[in-house]
Amino acid sequence: MRVHSFTFRLTFCWGLLLISTLTCFTAEWVHADDTKHFVTDEKANSISAAMESSLGGLPKLYESVSESIVRVERTGSDVTGVIVSTEGHIVVGNGFALVNGIGSNDVKVHLRDGRTVTATASGWSLEWRLAVLKIKEEGPWPAIKLGTTKNLKAGAPCLVIGYAPRGDTNFDSSPTARFGFIDRSVPTRWFTTTCFSGSFERPAVVGMDGRLLGINTCEVDTQNYATTVDVVAAHRDDLFAGKSLDWVRFPPAPDSIYRTGVGEHPELLRMRKTDDVLGKAKPPTRMSDSQLSKVRQIAKQTTVRLVSKDQLTYDGEADDRWSGVIVSEDGYILTCGHACQLPGDQFTVRLSDGRDAEGVALGSNPITDIGLVKITTPGSWPFAEIAASSTLKPGDPLVVAGYPALDTQGNWTTERLPQIDTTAVKHPLYLLWYRELNNRLDYFGQGGMSGGGVFNEQGCYVAVYNGSGHTRSELARLQWDDLQRIESIDTAIGLPHPLKKRFVAPRKAVAQSVVELLVDSKLVSIGTIVDADGWILTKASVLDGKVSCRLPDQSVVIAEKRAESQEHDLALLKVDVGDLAAAAFSDKEPPTMTQLLCAVGPRQILKPGIVSVETRAIPPEPRWKGDATEDTPDGVMISRLTDLSTIGTKFQRGDIIVSINGHSTPNVATLSQVLETSLAGYYTGDLVSVALRRKGAPLNVLTTLPPATGLVYWMMGEHATPRRSGFATVFDTDIALCQRQVGGPVIDVEGRIRGIAIASRGRDETRRGPTSVLPSHIVKRVTRQLMAEATSK
């Protein structure tokens, strides 16, 4: 159950805020959600073979397509664009704000060859989360060739390429590459890949023939969804002409407020201030008691709880559950798409009258956020009639209905009656026809209600309930035939990395040199044995407590830090054990773009990937300067209302900071001076010793330094290593490592150690990338220096 659906919607609908407020290699399954969608050994072997055969062509493929991949500047975070015509048309995923922002619609665009040009707004589709820009300067421009997904099968190799933010939140001059395969495919509509992309990156997906397959346009939880290139090709002329596909494909009713003063070409109209068109907001209209009672009864009878037989809740404790509304007598149910159901998934459909029925998922479209389920139990079912949402006006009354997933004690609930509430259509800051119906911000609902219904004052169904921005009924009608005829889709979900077997033999040369690092008995990172007499190299900034090592024989021994390179975030540890297997680092130059590598961990952990960005520096990210604190009679206090990110640190709001690294901090001015001068050589994520008072009690902690304040840091988050920047020489890979797997060796297919994984980013424990790697020539030099320092003491 997607309890966090509202967070998800805020994340991938960022542009819409302008409107609403403005070890086995067979089919190994890793997600409870996907256990039904079985991949045969034959298909798994076929995918591995296809990936293997594609490796040799990756360098040339990257060079040929990367010139068409551009970085588009946008407030908050830059995004990826793809040049799709020699005249300079650029397709951007979820780029609505770029073409319908407030003020100028011109943006800066950066090409890989170093040129910076200006592009202006063209067409868009909020249904498919696409926007088109047009370069203003004369071409010709390096356009990518367009492919098709008509015959796209799950398991097809692909290159995902875009401008991902680095550890310093800035961008490289060349796009980041990731190599994977398609794992869900709805031809000509949408697909997903095994590749992880950065927040707001919106990378392109390219086939092995160099042709564009699609653009990542949205995220649902941790899964990225791509709109196919076929959508772009089918509507090319309208998009290039600057039209709104939402108006072209599902126009509002003739008497809709959205038609007020639109002129002859409403499809070319951009945002208008609602007050200028409709006048000032009026108090919301209320239904009569009898009318409201009638609508409530319809909502109660037709809103159902969908209990999945194929998915589990995020904690694995119960069957996943969300809501839907029966919209036909023969049992078709409209619901949301972000619950990630797949065609053929089985449901128990629970009605408020006490009946249970069997149901099956048909098509779903996570990009539009809509899905269709069919009751398979014979019978006649209560249903709500579908009506147009475009005839509604700001202030018109609405009834919303759905089934919360959790009760007030936080337990999974099986309550038979839906939650039914009243709200009204929002008076938006800007008026624009698009796929969402927004209610007033006085009502948000609860997780699990997603997929429920929004009803007008006649009791007709006008939208799929989705928090405060609901998928309009016009979209349901438009996509109904598509959703109805999809009974299954091609999938290849949950497979281990197809290239993992390439490293089974090579890893043997280094496996006995890998140890686990524990701090206060908790696993925090990996270490590499660099000398047989008990010397171990690891990531320094994770060692914030009592350190011990779990050796290859599984014995746990105390470790002592003897030397450290703050510049490279490396620490040299000593354990009182001899005759260990020391690793040998390669003398070769750093690996080249798209070269296949693999991180080696304990207990036969192998994490393959390619070089995503060649060796370069990642400058330090902005560091905390002492702001978000205040002077109090007790000392410097971290403000309770602050945008300072304490994720990955031991700071808490309300803490009194007494000193840092022994430097007294009696007031905010002194704290800022200490951070600026005494800690001038420290980076975000480096460890410092802090004396605190927490709730009146003294406390000494070793903690990482937080980043500078600012909204940009939601691009990183709790799953990124706190020290992820300030490296003079690193290369990036698409190797998927979580924080506690950083610090170990990265090898090539011949088993040579090409570096140490030093930093990792990702959205959760499974969706990871990129991983930054210190090249072996740097590691060898630093190891010699640290050994000399440690043995001279």
pLDDT tens-digit profile of 371-413? Answer: 999 999 999 999 999 999 999 999 999 999 999 887 777 777 8
Q: How confident is the model at residue 759 (pLDDT cuts 50, 70, 90)?
A: very high
pLDDT tens-digit profile of 569-618? Answer: 999 999 999 999 999 999 999 999 999 999 999 988 899 999 999 999 99
Find the DSSP H helices in 603-705: 668-673
Of 14-28, 358-372, 411-425, 751-765, the poorest mean pLDDT is in 14-28
Q: Is 60 exceeded by the pLDDT of residue 486?
A: yes
Of 238-247, 486-495, 716-725, the poorest mean pLDDT is in 716-725
Residue with tokens 């990395």: 497
- Burial level of 350, CB count in 10 A (0-12/13-18/19+)? buried
Q: Higher-confidence residue: 347 or 196?
A: 347
What are the CA-CA distances from residue 572 to residues 111, 542, 624, 781 (Å)?
42, 13, 27, 13
CATH 2.40.10.120, applies to 500-619+722-792: yes
Instruction: Answer yes or no: same fold for 278-488 and 632-706.
Output: no
Contact 640, 667 (CB under 8 A): no
Q: What's the rounded Cα separation, in Å, for the pair 677 and 32?
A: 51
For residue 632, give the nearest of 660, 667, 671 by alpha carbon: 667
The single-letter code of the amino acid at 12 is F
Q: Is 90 exceeded by the pLDDT of residue 247?
A: yes
Q: What is the pLDDT of residue 1?
A: 39
Q: What's the rounded Cα separation, in Å, for the pair 382 and 352?
A: 11
Q: How confident is the model at residue 21 (pLDDT cuts 50, 70, 90)?
A: very low
SS (H, E, C) 450-518: CCCEEECCCCCEEEECCCCEEEEHHHHHHHHHHHHHCCCCEECCCCCCCCHHHHCCHHHHCHHHEEEEE
Q: What is the pLDDT of residue 447?
A: 79
Q: What is the pLDDT of residue 720?
A: 81
Q: For residue 741, how far is the Cα from the chain centroid?
A: 20
Residue with tokens 């990367």: 66
Contact 173, 163 (CB under 8 A): no
| Residue 350 tokens, joined | 């629970």
pLDDT tens-digit profile of 426-484? Answer: 999 999 999 999 988 766 677 788 999 999 999 999 999 988 789 999 999 999 999 99
Q: How confident is the model at residue 637 (pLDDT cuts 50, 70, 90)?
A: very high
- Burial level of 791, CB count in 10 A (0-12/13-18/19+)? middle
Of 149-153, 288-292, 337-341, 748-752, the poorest mean pLDDT is in 337-341
pTM: predicted TM-score of the whole model, two decimal places: 0.91
- Burial level of 695, CB count in 10 A (0-12/13-18/19+)? exposed
Q: How confident is the model at residue 169 (pLDDT cuts 50, 70, 90)?
A: confident
For residue 358, give the nearest of 392, 312, 315, 307 by alpha carbon: 307
Q: How confident is the model at residue 198 (pLDDT cuts 50, 70, 90)?
A: confident
Other CB atoms within 10 Å distance of the CB of residue 241: 15
Other CB atoms within 10 Å distance of the CB of residue 269: 18
Other CB atoms within 10 Å distance of the CB of residue 116: 11
Phi, psi of 462, deg, nearest 5: -120, -10
Across residues 143-150, what is the average pLDDT? 98
Q: What is the pLDDT of residue 165?
A: 85
Q: What is the pLDDT of residue 314?
A: 63
pLDDT tens-digit profile of 74-90? Answer: 876 789 999 999 999 99
Q: Is 90 exceeded by the pLDDT of residue 713?
A: no
**Positive/negative CA dihedral, 684, 685, 688, 694:** positive
Across residues 308-312, what is the average pLDDT? 79
Name the DSSP class of 200.
T
Q: Higher-confidence residue: 517 or 719?
A: 517
For residue 428, give the nearest of 5, 17, 8, 15 by alpha carbon: 17
* Highest mean pLDDT: which range of 17-26, 100-109, 145-154, 318-327: 145-154
The single-letter code of the amino acid at 344 is G
Across residues 205-217, what is the average pLDDT? 97
String of DSSP letters for 512-552: GGEEEEEETTEEEEEEEEEETTTEEEEEGGG--S-EEEE-T
Give domain 632-706's CATH number out of 3.40.50.150, 3.60.15.10, 1.10.10.10, 2.30.42.10: 2.30.42.10
CATH top class, domain 278-488 = mainly beta
Q: What is the pLDDT of residue 34?
A: 42
Q: For residue 674, how far is the Cα from the chain centroid?
A: 36
Q: What is the pLDDT of residue 31?
A: 33
Q: What is the pLDDT of residue 17?
A: 38
Contact 226, 206 (CB under 8 A): no
Quote the percentage of the chain above a pLDDT of 90.
72
> 431 has which bridge partners?
272
The single-letter code of the amino acid at 428 is P
Q: What's the rounded Cα separation, in Å, for the pair 214 and 232?
A: 9
Q: What is the mean pLDDT of the chain?
A: 89
For residue 656, give the nearest of 625, 630, 685 by alpha carbon: 630
Longest dimension (CA), the chain: 89
Q: What is the pLDDT of residue 603?
A: 83
Q: Which residues of 31-50 are buried (b: 16+ CB within 10 A; e: fewer)?
A: eebbeebebeeebbebbbee
Q: Higher-confidence residue: 269 or 301?
A: 301
Find the DSSP H helices in 241-370: 245-249, 274-278, 289-302
Find the DSSP H helices in 68-216: 96-99
Contact 146, 229 (CB under 8 A): yes
Q: Is 80 exceeded by the pLDDT of residue 716?
A: no
Q: Is the peptide bond before 284 cis (omega within 30 degrees of 0)?
A: no
For residue 216, give the nearest of 173, 176, 167 by alpha carbon: 176
Across residues 647-657, what is the average pLDDT? 90
Sequence spans of domains, the chain? 24-240, 278-488, 500-619+722-792, 632-706
| Residue 520 tokens, joined | 């206060």
Q: How confident is the model at residue 274 (pLDDT cuts 50, 70, 90)?
A: very high
Q: What is the pLDDT of residue 208?
A: 97
CATH code for 24-240? 2.40.10.120
For residue 423, give the nearest of 547, 286, 320 by alpha carbon: 286
